[in-house]
Homo-oligomer: A and B are copies of this chain.
Amino acid sequence: MKVVVSIGGSVLAPDLGAERIREHAAVIEQLVEDGCTVGAVVGGGTVARDYIGTARDLGANEMKLDEIGIDVTRLNARLLISALGEEATPSPPEDYEAAGAALKRGDVCVMGGVAPAQTTDAVGAALAEYVNADLLVYATSVPGVFSDDPNETDDATKYGELSAAELVDVIAGIEMNAGSSAPVDLLAAKVIQRSGMRTVVLDGTEPERILDAVKYGDHEGTDVIP
């Protein structure tokens, strides 16, 4: 089974502490032991926000800020690589071809962002599509796809299951509200839709949930059905 796991930066390294990273690495190692081919994509989190905030103060435009964000995601990827050791690519691949080559030769590939104007959510979906993955898992800080941003709206309800087309609609709706943030962004949702890939969105703050989701299809997040 070929799995791509997209791990939010604040989920992987809320504070640059080693513990959470070690847990995520343990889950990936378990998946590999169970015979999975695993690609991981890692987000930027707090450090990215700090650097981007300062650079914005200093006058950088949005594209330059995206480049800074990408650099931080790659640093975070290096942390996960450190925990995985020789099973993983020695440094984060910078494009899909290098990532695909790593998976093909049996390495765990850990990457960050790829290009400006594209989040690591989208990179996760793109990588999964590129390697024809069987499953794409988003390990996010919210426990699934909601009708609205649950941090902004009280009566946001979680979807247990969604078609890819519905996912695109829901995310499009959430993104209309500038303040709100969706668990995956619209570009990612569209790639999921076009590729017809099975996708799960779940709470990544307890990494072993990823394991249950991949191995037993058992999770309390949202299933996106092609």
Contacts and interface: CB of A to CB of B under 8 A. Distances in A.
B18 A63 contact: no
A16 interface: yes
A62 B194 contact: yes
Given A51-B75, A90-B97, A172-B172, A195 B67 contact: no
A114 interface: yes
Interface residues of A, number: 60
A7 interface: no
A88 to B, nearest CB: 11
Interface string A73-93: 011001101110110001100
Interface stretch (A52-60, A156-164, A214-222): A52-60
Nearest to A178: B165
A51 B86 CA distance: 19
A149 B137 CA distance: 35
Interface stretch (A28-36, A100-108, A139-147, A205-213): A100-108
A16 B54 contact: yes
A122 interface: yes
Nearest to A122: B117
Contacts of A71: 71, 74-75, 78
Given A116-B126, A117-B187, 12 more contacts: A51-B79, A54-B79, A55-B78, A58-B82, A59-B82, A60-B82, A62-B194, A68-B75, A71-B74, A90-B97, A115-B115, A172-B176
28 contacts: A16-B51, A18-B54, A18-B58, A22-B58, A54-B79, A55-B78, A55-B82, A58-B83, A59-B82, A59-B83, A60-B82, A61-B195, A62-B129, A63-B126, A63-B130, A64-B82, A64-B130, A71-B75, A72-B75, A105-B105, A115-B115, A115-B118, A116-B126, A117-B118, A117-B122, A117-B187, A169-B176, A187-B187
